């Protein structure tokens, strides 16, 4: 199959600077990153392809070879490793190496489960916890300390998994390589497949005598505290990945990640719609008719709102920038205040008289169907 031109893949010209190449790759890599496109094989291929192109073009020497001889210039025997067997794990590692320093959360926003060492044979388990947040906490951003039940390093053996005085030796099955190669022949030729050694789990070494405390695993159940920083503006279902805070890996292998899933606690007053919040505020007959200055709750405490005379029930007032801050962005949503005229149901004799008087003064006619009233209602309901 003809292979696509590296410059074409990255969408840059042949005279592109190193900076152009880096920029173009970063954009593509983020777009096609497997964590953003779970289960999408096409995106995975695009991610690998872009990474391969980047790996060549960012390297002056490789780029020169490629410019002169094309893909053949990079084949084995040309002094370079070539890219046979450049798999997803390599691509993820390359991306992490050059762009991991920013932190994945910064690149993707909350919602990433990235890690560099995907595909490693042995690694601690990822753990998932749910974190309940109030709208106020979401609005301000918050630091939380979580208690997490997880596998921690075994103190008895120092995490190595071996009983005191006992050592480790090369695995007899794979002779220390951690891998078993098998060769299969077919009509199309010979295939070599490599899989993880079952005896040593890919570690290449086995323990002579297992630690009694942890059974040779090197880890035991424990509880740890983990500090997390929640940025303002997250939503329910968003998650943060705290790298390395999952289960400690067996016998000193790298730890898993802790995935913190955000759950939004229902608020007594506010309803959230994207980054806007909606609140309903009662208004008395006289306030609606005469106008008033009323107290309205916001996420930052009460504020006063001027209601003009003749305000209809259901009217929505807009408080700009009183909503939820935009996640990883500038500015925040608005607060929509919907006033609802409160009809009293426990009138005293005196009050009844007053309403009767009022009704007589106004001719006791039912209110006219004011077209603009229904128009406004429709707008409020979005129908």
Binding site for Zn ion (CB under 5 A): 154, 156-157, 171, 173-174, 197, 199-200, 211, 213-214
Rounded to a whole number of angstroms, the minimum distance from the CB of residue 178 to Zn ion is: 6
Rounded to a whole number of angstroms, the minimum distance from the CB of residue 212 to Zn ion is: 8
Residue nearer to Zn ion on the CB measure, 129 or 200? 200
The stretches of 220-308 forming alpha helices (DSSP H) are: 285-290
Rounded to a whole number of angstroms, the minimum distance from the CB of residue 151 to Zn ion is: 11
CA atoms within 13 A on the CB side of 68: 8
Query: Which of 290, 293, 294 minimizes the C-alpha distance to 280?
Result: 294
Query: Which of 282, 212, 238, 254 minimizes the C-alpha distance to 113?
Result: 238
Give, as one character, the DSSP assignment of residue 74.
G
Residue nearer to Zn ion on the CB measure, 160 or 333? 160
Tokens of 184: 């299969």
Residue nearer to Zn ion on the CB measure, 98 or 213? 213
Rounded to a whole number of angstroms, the minimum distance from the CB of residue 90 to Zn ion is: 23
Cα diameter, the chain:
103
Residue nearer to Zn ion on the CB measure, 162 or 230? 162
Residue nearer to Zn ion on the CB measure, 134 or 156? 156
Angle, helices 41-57 vs 18-32, to 10°: value is 170
Residue nearer to Zn ion on the CB measure, 74 or 220? 220
142 beta partners: 230
CA 270 to each of CA 85, 198, 248: distance values in angstroms, whole numbers, following the listed order: 54, 55, 41
CA 19 to each of CA 54, 58, 99, 233, 271: distance values in angstroms, whole numbers, following the listed order: 11, 9, 13, 32, 45
Rounded to a whole number of angstroms, the minimum distance from the CB of residue 184 to Zn ion is: 21
Rounded to a whole number of angstroms, the minimum distance from the CB of residue 154 to Zn ion is: 3
Angle, helices 41-57 vs 60-69, to 10°: value is 100
Tokens of 290: 């005469």
Rounded to a whole number of angstroms, the minimum distance from the CB of residue 171 to Zn ion is: 3
Are residues 330 and 275 in contact, defined by beta-carbon separation less than 8 angstroms?
no
Q: Residue 108 and residue 316: Cα distance in Å, rounded? A: 35
Give, as one character, the DSSP assignment of residue 325.
B
Within 10 angstroms of residue 121's Cβ, the number of other Cβ atoms is 15
Rounded to a whole number of angstroms, the minimum distance from the CB of residue 61 to Zn ion is: 37
Residue nearer to Zn ion on the CB measure, 194 or 290? 194
Rounded to a whole number of angstroms, the minimum distance from the CB of residue 119 to Zn ion is: 18
**Backbone phi and psi for residue 99, each to the nearest 5 degrees, phi listed first:** -125, -5
3-class secondary-structure state, position 199: coil
Residue nearer to Zn ion on the CB measure, 73 or 159? 159
Give, as one character, the DSSP assignment of residue 284.
-
Cα 172 to its chain centre, rounded Å, is 43
Rounded to a whole number of angstroms, the minimum distance from the CB of residue 199 to Zn ion is: 4
127 beta partners: 258
Find where tokens 């096409």 sit: 42
Are residues 124 and 152 in contact, defined by beta-carbon separation less than 8 angstroms?
no
């Amino acid at each position: 199959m003809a292979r696509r031109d590296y410059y074409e893949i990255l969408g840059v010209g042949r005279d592109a600077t190193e900076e152009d190449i880096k920029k173009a790759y970063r954009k593509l890599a983020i777009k096609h990153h497997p964590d953003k496109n779970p289960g999408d094989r096409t995106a995975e291929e695009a991610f690998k392809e872009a990474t391969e192109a980047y790996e060549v073009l960012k390297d002056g020497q490789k780029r020169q070879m490629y410019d002169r001889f094309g893909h053949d210039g990079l084949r084995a025997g040309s002094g370079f490793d070539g890219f046979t067997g450049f798999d997803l794990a390599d691509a993820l590692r390359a991306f992490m190496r050059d762009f991991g320093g920013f932190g994945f959360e910064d690149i993707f926003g909350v919602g990433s489960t990235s890690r560099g060492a995907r595909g490693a044979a042995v690694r601690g388990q990822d753990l998932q916890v749910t974190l309940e947040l109030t709208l106020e906490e979401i609005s301000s951003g918050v630091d939380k300390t979580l208690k997490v039940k997880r596998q921690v390093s075994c103190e008895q053996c120092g995490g190595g998994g071996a009983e005191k005085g006992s050592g480790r030796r090369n695995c007899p099955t794979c002779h220390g390589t951690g891998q078993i190669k098998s060769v299969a022949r077919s009509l199309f030729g010979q295939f070599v497949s490599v899989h993880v050694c079952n005896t040593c789990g890919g570690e290449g070494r086995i323990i002579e005598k297992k630690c009694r405390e942890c059974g040779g695993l090197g880890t035991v159940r424990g509880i740890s505290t983990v500090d997390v920083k929640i940025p303002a503006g997250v939503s329910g279902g968003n998650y943060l990945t705290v790298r390395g805070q999952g289960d400690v890996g067996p016998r000193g292998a790298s730890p898993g990640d802790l995935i913190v899933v955000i759950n939004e606690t229902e608020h007594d007053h506010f309803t959230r719609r994207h980054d806007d919040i909606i609140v309903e505020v009662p208004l008395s007959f006289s306030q609606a008719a005469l106008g008033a200055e009323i107290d309205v709750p916001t996420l930052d405490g009460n504020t006063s709102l001027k209601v003009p005379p003749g305000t209809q029930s259901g009217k929505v007032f807009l408080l700009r920038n009183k909503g939820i801050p935009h996640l990883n962005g500038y500015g925040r949503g608005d607060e929509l205040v919907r006033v609802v005229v409160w009809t009293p149901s426990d009138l005293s004799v005196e009050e009844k008289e007053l309403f009767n008087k009022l009704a007589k003064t106004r001719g006791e006619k039912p209110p006219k169907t004011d077209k603009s009233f229904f128009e406004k209602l429709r707008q409020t309901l979005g129908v």
